[in-house]
């Protein structure tokens, strides 16, 4: 067992009401005749009691988003726990919301999130609170339960199953729930285990420890007064499992009697199947293990929820120039009727008004009205519709319809949507009346001014996938061409840039061999920083560039020179690989596929950490495409090439932090990017902190953390104007 102080998460259970009735639920939802909703004072007390806890403070249920005071509770959590992290929030339109969650909000480890967590099955209230949730929670554990979830039996006692003490204490103390999941707080107190807390709430138990500062520092020797709940729990035992979507619970005779005693609604509805201890054979089952044992894959966490979160109730507003001919307006309205329709026309032309009346479309005249008055009138006209699509004289093309009907948009953002140059034009705006920026109203002529800059999103429609051929269709034979004319797309040219200094020949060879072994063609640019190694000249497929002197800036200048050469030679992508690292053979192929499938400009991968001898140390958690990306894990395509100038412009004093500064520039660029969780880069580490993380002694000559504090001190000592100018360059590329 673990002390709550050692846990990654401690949950505050704000309700046991739920929109689901999952079988073998760890919160026993559906067995209470009346759910609890934690009051604000208790919640405040719970949050305050966790001051100093280093892990995630989670909000859980039931379904927490249906708590009637959810915004107030979340507001208090946001003010008193952790910090805001806009880099993890869903602001841009999201074609795959689960992918966004897994890449940005699914790291529970200490130090890798903002210490605020939400556990949810994505109810309709999740959509209602979408903006607040994205602004607040750096961790979101989502499972909409549309996929099969294997839930283990909880309601059986070890006494009924004949588990002797010598086996029981070992199994109990190794229980996956207490050792991998959370302690929790309910309105009745604090508990060492979340399932124990749920049992106490369901069966009307005596309650937990007082909700007071530091309660979570208790150790297993202090758990004695709560261990009686373990005697009623079979989570740690080899017992049957069932699909949660069956909505049926397994319960032993002792538990059936207890459910009768609380007048369980699920029992009365026949949603409890009695588990017969007489027929129990432990060898027929396995003990549940792992942090998330109920799903075959995290990719199954969202199914129907994606479509639940796309914009609904769209109010289409057609604003046109008063001089537009009536015939052209009629054609414009008719073209839009097939998509979202036209609900209101903004115009002062009486002929436009007459046409709108003929077509049954409301009219909102603009003359003599302020932007604030028009916004209020528009909101009144929209009624219950909350999303507003401002068409600005354009047709909602099939590209726009596909985008709006399939992607998740944040109601708290203002979106300016445009189409790609080669596709039918549209230029429209999309916003939601529920945005926090519009609570006090808005000026229809200057709505963007209400929003924080990060919540104003300028977005191009994504590339639509090519239609799949019909396998049943038999194409007619093509006529013989008069002359052969074969056209093929030009090859996608990839450059790999490696700066090197005085690395041993065998290290350089390992690096180069990993490039030549790639499953897609590429060219290796090896740039000597003042100390060329003649062995490189004998390798095929290498552009060997030699700088006349060493620049002592962690490879920045060689990296910049290699990038410039690749760009001048018309390469389509640039990847970086430090000399002591190496690629897995499919690294570039995976990056290229990610670029093509997602239509993004920047692709990144995960990495494995290795000792000097090449043996693996661990798979990196920090290099997650959100918190940080190492230089060797970048794959830049043409739209991102402007970022490469940063390698040459960066002050030498900041070069120990070069990868951090480059990552900051990538994030600020707002270029579309995607991250692969597959670790296809091997990083040979010399940093003492990595060995400390792995619990090993660092090798001789390891780099101490002081290397990173020196540039930070230098930076803090520079004049304010100097820092402001460089901050602007790092984040925008301009002065």
Per-residue pLDDT averaged across 594-622, rounded? Answer: 89
pLDDT at 543: 95
Query: Among residues of the chain, what percentage have pLDDT more than 90?
Result: 75
Question: What confidence tier does 469 reach under pLDDT thresholds 50, 70, 90?
Answer: very low
The answer on pLDDT for 150 being more than 80 is: yes
Distances (CA, A) of 587 to 35, 99, 310, 602, 634: 51, 20, 33, 14, 11
Beta carbons within 10 angstroms of residue 491's beta carbon: 9
Cα-flanking dihedrals φ and ψ of residue 328, to 5°? -70, -35
pLDDT at 544: 95
Domain co-membership, 456 together with 499: no
The answer on pLDDT for 83 being more than 50 is: yes
pLDDT at 481: 45
| Strand 427-432, strand 414-418: pairing | antiparallel
Per-residue pLDDT averaged across 397-408, rounded? Answer: 92
Question: What is the residue range of 387's domain?
Answer: 310-460
Domain co-membership, 413 together with 520: no
The answer on pLDDT for 478 being more than 80 is: no
pLDDT at 213: 97
Domain co-membership, 455 together with 521: no
The DSSP secondary-structure symbol of 693 reads H
Longest Cα–Cα distance of the chain, Å, equals 90
CB 113 within 8 A of CB 81: no
Per-residue pLDDT averaged across 53-70, rounded? Answer: 97
Question: What confidence tier does 463 reach under pLDDT thresholds 50, 70, 90?
Answer: low
Domain co-membership, 456 together with 316: yes
Per-residue pLDDT averaged across 266-271, rounded? Answer: 95
Question: What confidence tier does 706 reach under pLDDT thresholds 50, 70, 90?
Answer: confident
The pLDDT tens digits of the residues spanning 322-343 come to 999 999 999 999 999 989 999 9
Range with lowest mean pLDDT among 44-48, 145-149, 531-535, 684-688: 145-149
pLDDT at 290: 65
CB 375 within 8 A of CB 429: no
CB 393 within 8 A of CB 429: no
Structural domain includes residue 369: yes
Last residue of a domain, one of 437, 460, 483: 460
Domain co-membership, 406 together with 314: yes
Question: What confidence tier does 468 reach under pLDDT thresholds 50, 70, 90?
Answer: very low
pLDDT at 297: 80
Structural domain includes residue 540: yes
pLDDT at 488: 43
Domain co-membership, 542 together with 596: yes
Whole-number Å distance between alpha carbons of 49 and 215: 7
pLDDT at 422: 75
Question: What confidence tier does 87 reach under pLDDT thresholds 50, 70, 90?
Answer: confident
Structural domain includes residue 607: yes
Structural domain includes residue 654: yes
Q: What share of the chain is helix, strand, coil (3-state, %, to 5)?
A: 40, 20, 45
Question: What confidence tier does 395 reach under pLDDT thresholds 50, 70, 90?
Answer: very high
Domain co-membership, 434 together with 533: no
Structural domain includes residue 433: yes
The pLDDT tens digits of the residues spanning 524-547 come to 999 999 999 999 998 887 999 999
The pLDDT tens digits of the residues spanning 92-102 come to 999 999 999 99
The DSSP secondary-structure symbol of 323 reads T
Q: Which residues on adjacent β-strands are paired with residue 388?
A: 315, 431
Q: Is pLDDT larger for residue 88 or for residue 574?
A: 574
pLDDT at 720: 85
Structural domain includes residue 483: no
Q: How far is CA 459 from the centre of its chain?
A: 19
Query: Among residues of the chain, what percentage have pLDDT more than 70?
Result: 95
The answer on pLDDT for 476 being more than 90 is: no
The answer on pLDDT for 447 being more than 90 is: yes
The answer on pLDDT for 473 being more than 80 is: no
Residue 5's nearest CA partner among 64, 38, 52, 70 is: 52
Per-residue pLDDT averaged across 410-432, rounded? Answer: 92
Distances (CA, A) of 105 to 159, 548, 677: 41, 46, 13
State how many domains the chain has. 2
Beta carbons within 10 angstroms of residue 51's beta carbon: 10
Domain co-membership, 506 together with 640: yes
Structural domain includes residue 177: no
The answer on pLDDT for 275 being more than 90 is: no
- Residue 310: both structure tokens together: 């796309």
pLDDT at 375: 97
Range with lowest mean pLDDT among 403-412, 450-459, 470-479: 470-479
What CATH number is attached to the domain comprising 343? 3.90.550.10
Domain co-membership, 571 together with 720: yes
CB 220 within 8 A of CB 2: yes
Question: What confidence tier does 734 reach under pLDDT thresholds 50, 70, 90?
Answer: low
pLDDT at 466: 36
Last residue of a domain, one of 416, 438, 460: 460
Question: What confidence tier does 291 reach under pLDDT thresholds 50, 70, 90?
Answer: low
Domain co-membership, 520 together with 414: no
Q: What is the per-residue DSSP string for 702-717?
A: PBPTHHHHHHHHHHHT
Domain co-membership, 562 together with 445: no
The answer on pLDDT for 13 being more than 60 is: yes
Structural domain includes residue 83: no
Domain co-membership, 355 together with 401: yes
Per-residue pLDDT averaged across 610-618, rounded? Answer: 89
pLDDT at 465: 42
Last residue of a domain, one of 407, 440, 460: 460
The pLDDT tens digits of the residues spanning 206-258 come to 999 999 999 999 999 999 999 999 999 999 999 999 999 999 999 999 999 99
Give the strand order in the sheet containing 456-460: 362-364, 344-346, 314-319, 387-390, 427-432, 414-418, 456-460
The answer on pLDDT for 5 being more than 50 is: yes
pLDDT at 330: 95
């Amino acid at each position: 067992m673990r002390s709550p102080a050692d846990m990654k998460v401690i949950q505050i259970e704000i309700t046991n009401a739920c929109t689901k009735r999952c079988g073998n639920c760890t919160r026993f939802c559906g067995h209470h005749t009346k759910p609890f909703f934690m009051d604000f004072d208790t919640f405040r007390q719970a949050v305050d009691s966790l001051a100093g806890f280093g892990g995630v403070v989670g909000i859980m249920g039931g379904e927490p988003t249906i708590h009637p005071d959810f915004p107030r509770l979340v507001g208090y959590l946001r003010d008193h726990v952790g910090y805001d992290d806009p880099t993890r929030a869903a602001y841009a339109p999201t074609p795959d919301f689960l992918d966004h969650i897994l890449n940005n909000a699914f790291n529970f480890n200490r130090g890798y999130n903002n210490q605020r967590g939400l556990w949810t099955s994505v109810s309709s209230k999740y959509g209602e609170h979408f903006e607040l949730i994205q602004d607040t929670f750096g961790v979101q554990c989502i499972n909409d339960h549309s996929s099969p979830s294997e839930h283990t039996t909880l309601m059986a006692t070890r006494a009924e199953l004949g588990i002797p003490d010598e086996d029981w204490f070992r199994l109990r103390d190794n229980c996956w729930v207490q050792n991998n999941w959370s302690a929790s707080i309910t309105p009745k107190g604090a508990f060492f285990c979340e399932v124990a807390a749920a049992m106490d709430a369901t069966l009307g138990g005596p309650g937990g420890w007082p909700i007071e500062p530091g309660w979570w520092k208790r150790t297993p020797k202090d758990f004695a007064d709560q261990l009686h709940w373990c005697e009623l729990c079979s989570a740690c035992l080899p017992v049957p499992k069932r699909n949660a979507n069956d909505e049926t619970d397994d319960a032993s005779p002792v538990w059936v009697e207890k459910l009768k005693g609380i007048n369980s609604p699920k029992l009365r509805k026949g949603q409890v199947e009695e588990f017969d201890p007489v027929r129990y054979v432990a060898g027929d089952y396995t003990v549940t293990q792992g942090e998330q044992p109920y799903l075959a894959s995290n990719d199954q966490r969202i199914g129907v929820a994606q479509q639940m979160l796309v914009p609904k109730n769209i109010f289409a507003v057609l604003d046109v120039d008063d001089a537009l001919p009536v015939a052209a307006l009629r054609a414009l309205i008719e073209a839009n009727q097939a998509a979202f329709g036209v609900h209101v026309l903004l115009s002062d032309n009486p002929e436009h008004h007459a046409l709108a009346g003929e077509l049954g479309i409301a009219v909102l005249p603009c003359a003599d009205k302020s932007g604030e008055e028009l916004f209020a009138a528009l909101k009144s006209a929209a009624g219950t519709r909350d999303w507003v699509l401002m068409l600005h004289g354009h047709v909602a093309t099939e590209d726009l319809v596909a985008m709006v009907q399939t992607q998740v948009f944040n109601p708290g953002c203002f979106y300016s949507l445009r189409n790609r140059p080669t596709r039918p034009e549209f230029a429209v705006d999309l916003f939601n009346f529920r945005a926090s920026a519009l609570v006090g109203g808005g000026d229809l002529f200057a709505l963007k001014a209400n929003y924080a800059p990060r919540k104003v999103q300028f977005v191009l429609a994504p590339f639509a996938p090519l239609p799949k051929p019909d396998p049943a269709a038999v194409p007619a034979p093509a006529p013989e061409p008069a002359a052969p004319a074969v056209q093929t797309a030009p090859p996608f040219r990839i450059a790999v840039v490696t700066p090197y200094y005085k690395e041993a020949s065998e290290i350089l060879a390992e690096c180069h061999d990993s490039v030549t072994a790639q499953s897609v063609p590429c060219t290796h640019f090896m740039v000597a920083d003042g100390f060329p190694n003649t062995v490189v000249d004998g390798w095929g497929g290498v552009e060997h560039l030699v700088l006349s002197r060493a620049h002592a800036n962690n490879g920045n200048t060689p990296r910049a020179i290699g990038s410039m050469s690749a760009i001048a030679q018309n390469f389509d992508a640039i990847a970086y690989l430090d000399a002591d690292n190496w690629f897995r053979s499919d690294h570039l192929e995976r990056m290229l596929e990610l670029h093509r499938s997602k239509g993004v400009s920047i692709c990144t991968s995960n990495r494995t950490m290795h000792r000097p001898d090449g043996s693996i140390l661990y798979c990196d958690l920090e290099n997650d495409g959100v918190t940080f990306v190492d230089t060797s894990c970048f794959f830049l395509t043409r739209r991102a090439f402007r970022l490469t100038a940063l390698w040459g412009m960066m002050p030498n004093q900041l070069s120990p932090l070069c990868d951090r500064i480059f990552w900051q520039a990538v994030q600020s660029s707002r270029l579309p990017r995607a991250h692969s969780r597959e670790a296809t880069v091997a990083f040979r580490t010399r940093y003492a902190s990595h060995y400390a993380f792995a619990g090993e002694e660092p090798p001789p000559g390891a780099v101490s953390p002081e290397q990173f504090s020196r540039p930070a001190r230098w930076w803090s000592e520079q004049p304010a104007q100097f820092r402001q100018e460089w901050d602007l360059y790092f984040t925008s590329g301009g002065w």
